[in-house]
């Protein structure tokens, strides 16, 4: 399991834990002190990121924006770009 932590300037802290295999993320877990409603929907976002290349920021931004809109999920404290950036930091320290 890899972990990446990103304190968004002017925003919240986002931490992503995932297994990274061949550059792709599996078992993605997102945590942090951000706001997201309805709260049960974070898991939907996590599942949507399964198998994405951690360095493909464009694709990650696209899928995050798509899921947020499709499921009417409201967030404050991070953006799709912040998730993509945090994903790109995976491959850092082990948990």
Partner 1 sequence: MFRIIPTQNSDAYMNMALDEACMNAVREKKVKPTVRLFGWNTPSVTIGCFQCVTDEVDMAAIKEDNIPITRRITGGGAVYHDAEITYSVVAPEELFSKNIATSYGQIVKPLMQALNKLGVETRFRALNDVMLGEKKVSGNAQTRKGGVLLQHGTIILSVNEELMFRYLTPDANKNNDKPFIKSNRSAVAGVLREGISSEDVLRAVREELIKTYRAVEQVWSEDELIQARELAKKYASQEWIFLR
Chosen residue from 26, 66, 76, 92 binding partner 1 by CB under 8 A = 76
d(CA 85, CA 58): 10
Site for partner 1 in 15-74 (CB under 8 A): 15, 17, 29-39, 42, 74
CB of 33 or CB of 47, closer to partner 1: 33
Would you count residue 11 as binding partner 1 (CB under 8 A)?
Answer: yes
Q: Are 30 and 46 in contact (CB under 8 A)?
A: yes
Closest residue by Cα to residue 75 from 85, 67, 86: 67
Q: What are phi and psi of 87, to 5 degrees?
A: -60, -40
Q: Are 18 and 28 in contact (CB under 8 A)?
A: yes
Query: Least distance to partner 1 from the beta carbon of 52, Å?
Result: 20
Interface residue list for partner 1 (CB under 8 A): 5, 7-13, 15, 17, 29-39, 42, 74, 76-77
């Amino acid at each position: 399991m890899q972990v990446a932590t990103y304190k968004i300037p002017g925003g919240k802290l986002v931490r992503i834990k995932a297994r990274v295999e061949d550059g792709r993320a599996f078992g993605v877990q997102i945590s942090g002190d951000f706001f997201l409603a309805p709260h049960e929907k974070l898991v939907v976002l996590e599942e949507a990121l399964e198998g994405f290349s951690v360095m493909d920021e464009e694709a990650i931004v696209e899928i995050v924006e798509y899921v947020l809109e499709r499921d009417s999920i409201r967030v404050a404290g991070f953006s799709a770009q912040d998730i993509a950036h945090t994903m790109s930091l995976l491959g850092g320290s082990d948990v």
